[in-house]
Structure formats: structure tokens, C-alpha cells
Structure 1
Amino acid sequence: MKEISPALRSFILTLPSVPFLEALLLLHGAPGQIWTAEAIAQRLYLQSLGQADTIVRELAARGFCACTPGGHVLYQPADAALHALIAELSREYPHRLIEITKLVHG
């Protein structure tokens, strides 16, 4: 199996937590779908709605998604390069779960 690309490795190291990463991949997997923090919390089995709210705010602040006037989010990366990294992450994550989660925790 080939190594994780340097660009993807650098990107992963910027992610604050595994739930954040999984929320990002959830949004990426359903482009065009509008998500509430509550729906994200349910899908990711998060302990609290507050944790989901924090993740949603950070996803928006980092340019991974757009916010609706009602405070919901949808996948809309700030640029094509960011989308390409997220797409690469979505392809690699199922095959390198442990390696990637260790990078996030590192």
C-alpha cells in the first residue's frame, strides 16, 4: 500500500479531532444536503449537541462548509484544492483508519 501523500498528511495534522474529521467526511459524502448540528450529532453518535455545535462552527470557520441563514451547514469547500484534499481523505480513511486517527491525535 502506498504512503499517504505529503499534502494529505499535512492536512490531517491540522484537523482538531476525529469527530471533526468524521463530520467533514459526512458532509462531503452528501453534497447539497443541509445539516443541522443535531443531525450531525445523531449520525456520529456524539455525546452532546454542544460538541456538534462546536464542530459545525469550526467547519464553517475553516472554509469546509457554508452556513444557511438558519444556522445549518452544507458541504461547500472554499476552493477546489481544499475539495481535492477532502476527497482524497474520504478515499483513504476507510483503508487507513488507524493510521489517520493516530495522526489526528498526534
Structure 2
Amino acid sequence: MTALTDELRGFVLTLPSVPFLEALLLVHGTPDQIWTAEALAQRLYLQSVCRADAIVQELAERGFCACTAAGQLVYSPRDARLHGLVLQLAGVYHQKLVEITGLVHR
């Protein structure tokens, strides 16, 4: 089982919520897909499209994604370091689900 590095643990601690984390991993896993807030809400079982829209905006503001003029989202990290952290996170998330979500809830 892969260990959570200190760098990755620190990165996870900066994530604002589990839905944000799951949205990040979803868009990372589908880099060629353009996402709407509605599609994210449906895929993540969020009851509020407004909540999904806030996640879309925050993903863009934090440099994980780019927004189109129509407010759609595509995975496009601002730099290689950020992409590397997301890649590491995606690689260990299912093995360390409880530990990672516990860090997000702190």
C-alpha cells in the first residue's frame, strides 16, 4: 500500500471539502472532457447546482482547471507541480480514502 507523503498530506489539508476533492479527481481523470456545473452536480450526487457552480469557480481560482467563456470546466493545472500533486492524490485516493477524507474534514 502506498504511503501518504508529507507533501501530499499538506496538499490534502488545503482542500476545502470532500465534494471539491472528488470534483478535482473527476476532472483530472477525464482531462479531455468539458464539465458543466450541472454535470458535476449529477455525477457527484450534489443536490445543489449552486454548490457545484461554487466548486467549479474554486477549482478555477485555485489553478486546477480553466473555465470556458460559458462557465464550463476543463482540467488544466497552472503548473507541473500542481499537476504532480493531483496525480499523486489520484494514485492513492482509493487506497487511503478514509485517511484522506479525514484530513479534508479537519
CA contact (8 A) 2:15 2:104 kept: yes
**1:1-106 matched pairs, under 5 angstroms:** 1-106=1-106
Which runs of 5 or more structure 1 residues have no equivalent in the other structure? none
In the alignment, residue 90 of structure 1 is paired with which amino acid? A
Cα RMSD for the two superposed structures: 0.8
Identity %: 63
State the distance in 2 between where 1:17 and 1:47 align: 15
Post-superposition offset of 1:21:
0.1
In the alignment, residue 53 of structure 1 is paired with which amino acid? D
In the alignment, residue 42 of structure 2 is paired with which amino acid? Q
State the distance in 2 between where 1:99 and 1:90 align: 14
Post-superposition offset of 1:32:
1.7
What TM-score do you get using the length of structure 1 for normalisation?
0.97
Write the deviation string for residues 50-101 of structure 1: whole angstroms up to 9, x where unpaired. 1101100000000000011111010000000000000000011010100000
